[in-house]
Amino acid sequence: MAAQEVRTPGSKPGGTMLWGGRFTGGLDPLMVSYNESIYYDRAFHTQDILGSIAWARGNHKVGILSDAEFKAIEEGLKKVEAEWVDGTFKIIPGVDEDIHTANERRLGEIIGKDIGGKLHTGRSRNEQVATDMRMWLRDELRKIEVFLVDFLKVVAARAEKEIDFVMPGYTHLQRAQPVRWSHWMLSYGLAFASDLERLREVIARVNRSPLGCGALAGNPFNIDRDAMAKELGFEGLMWNSMGAVADRDFVLEAMQWGSTLMSHMSRWSEDLIIYSTGEFSFVRLADAYSTGSSLMPQKKNPDSLELLRGKSGRAFGQMAGLMMTLKGLPSTYNKDLQESVEPMLDHVKTVGDSIQIATGVLSTLAANSEKMRAALDGFMLATDLADYLVRKGVPFRETHHISGQVVALSEKTNTPMEKLTYEQLESVDARFKPDVSECFDFERSVEMRTSKGGTSKKCVLEQIEVLKSMLA
């Protein structure tokens, strides 16, 4: 449930704003709404409360807060969080500029401003928002990690189950060589597994604490940054206070990661869109991930895959936009950095939702092995024909030319290459022997690719095991 909004006039000069004491003139009402971020950074309410409790504990340990004051602040903050969770928190426009001021304002109402006003001692919103964002992003990326692992488990399971399906492999969207359907799935599966490895590295860099860095120069009360970081689940510290409050590389890197994953997702979707057309019919999407036409009753459109393909552009655009925001900023904190929040929130949701949709698509689509095999043609074995002569001792450059002559003969006589007689093949080159007929076997062709990474059954099973090991 969303927090409730209470409509009140804009703040008075020098009034309730945390920074208001120095100002004597009022803000343009449009500037008030233009400046406030509460309607999207309220997503960080849990992280802001946890960070504030850790901050209060740190101030308690250095003697700024008494036992009773710390206890009151901790209990009050938990009540504020409960209001966010049950949807009863009332946002006051023009007063609750962001999640930090909203929580502190409400805390003062619950426990009194005399005690509540001590919470912010030694702390800046510059470090506070950076802390909230890192905690939130870390937690969300860990959820995405689970989504991605689940998706890859489906890839591995289908690849194992449908390993005997043989289909055309394509280059330039032209039929090239026979491959296993499982080999195609793993071509993307292993790319996504590399994304998983990169994600884990990104999470480790996100999970560093800026709390205790102040506005830019550090904390004057000897607060224990290590203890606060440990309490909040961080794995390390941001070591320079100026850099810590200005840094949004952690957001940018996460969005760069998401853009890479979504580019893989887009290409994966494009292949499946093609394979689902009537011209191919290699796969059929479940009704749950398809839509119909408002005009043509026979249509079954792959909207899930088209949306995945389309949202990759959205993800990349958010990343590129943030790069442009960051590229010319002076040190340290500048209000431009507020523009890192909304794209991060949307990017993370887009990527997380996309992986879950992809998992649903892949786990429910039907693969048509008969259509795949019917799409194979003898020309796809031209390389096998060249390889046959290589094994007879003929240089490959020569065998490539000879195999091309066989293709030309097939086209000239309008005879499928695999239907050419031994006499016709021998007329092209006398080094062809009767056993050349063995080349015209699609199953044999895929089984000949036995080097690691190939499309033989042994190699594909090995790839499945490699993929599974990357999920651990």
Q: pLDDT digit string (tens) for 143-186? A: 999 999 999 999 999 999 999 999 999 999 999 999 999 999 99
pLDDT at 1: 45
Q: What are phi and psi of 218, to 5 degrees?
A: 110, 180
The better pLDDT of the pair 310, 7 is held by 310
**Average pLDDT estimate for 183-190:** 98
pLDDT at 35: 84
pLDDT classification of 31: cutoffs 50, 70, 90 = confident
pLDDT classification of 258: cutoffs 50, 70, 90 = very high
CB 359 within 8 A of CB 154: yes
Segment 428-470, tens digit of pLDDT:
999 999 999 999 999 999 999 999 999 999 999 999 999 999 9
Whether 16 shows a pLDDT value over 80: the answer reads: no
CA distance 374 to 313: 35
Whether 6 shows a pLDDT value over 50: the answer reads: no
**Average pLDDT estimate for 383-393:** 94
pTM value > 0.75: yes
Instruction: Identify whether 120 is a catalytic site residue.
Output: no
Whether 9 shows a pLDDT value over 70: the answer reads: no
Which domains, and CATH codes, for the chain?
Answer: 4-121 (1.10.275.10), 126-374 (1.20.200.10), 378-456 (1.10.40.30)
Listed in sequence order, the DSSP H helices in 162-215 are 181-206
Q: Which of 36, 46, 114 has its CA nearest to residue 80?
A: 46
pLDDT at 370: 98
CA distance 106 to 102: 6
Instruction: Identify whether 183 is a catalytic site residue.
Output: no
Whether 396 shows a pLDDT value over 80: the answer reads: yes
Write out the E strands in 297-397.
Answer: 366-367
DSSP state of 235: S
Q: Which residues contact residue 452 at a Cβ distance below 8 angstroms, ignoring those fewer than 6 apart? A: 459, 462
pLDDT at 244: 98
CA distance 208 to 49: 18
**Average pLDDT estimate for 61-69:** 98
Segment 80-107, tens digit of pLDDT:
999 999 999 999 998 999 999 999 999 9
Whether 18 shows a pLDDT value over 90: the answer reads: no
Q: What percent of the chain has pLDDT over 70?
A: 94
DSSP state of 45: H
Q: What's the whole-number average pLDDT of the chain?
A: 93
Which pairing describes strands 4-5 and 90-91: parallel, antiparallel, or unpaired? parallel
pLDDT at 238: 98
- The one catalytic residue in 172, 294, 451, 469 is 172
The better pLDDT of the pair 31, 402 is held by 402
Segment 291-329, tens digit of pLDDT:
877 777 777 899 999 999 999 999 999 999 999 999 999
Whether 10 shows a pLDDT value over 50: the answer reads: no
> Which amino acid is present at 110?
I
pLDDT classification of 74: cutoffs 50, 70, 90 = very high
- The one catalytic residue in 33, 66, 293, 331 is 293
Whether 17 shows a pLDDT value over 60: the answer reads: no
**Average pLDDT estimate for 325-348:** 97
pLDDT at 425: 94
Segment 345-366, tens digit of pLDDT:
999 999 999 999 999 999 999 9
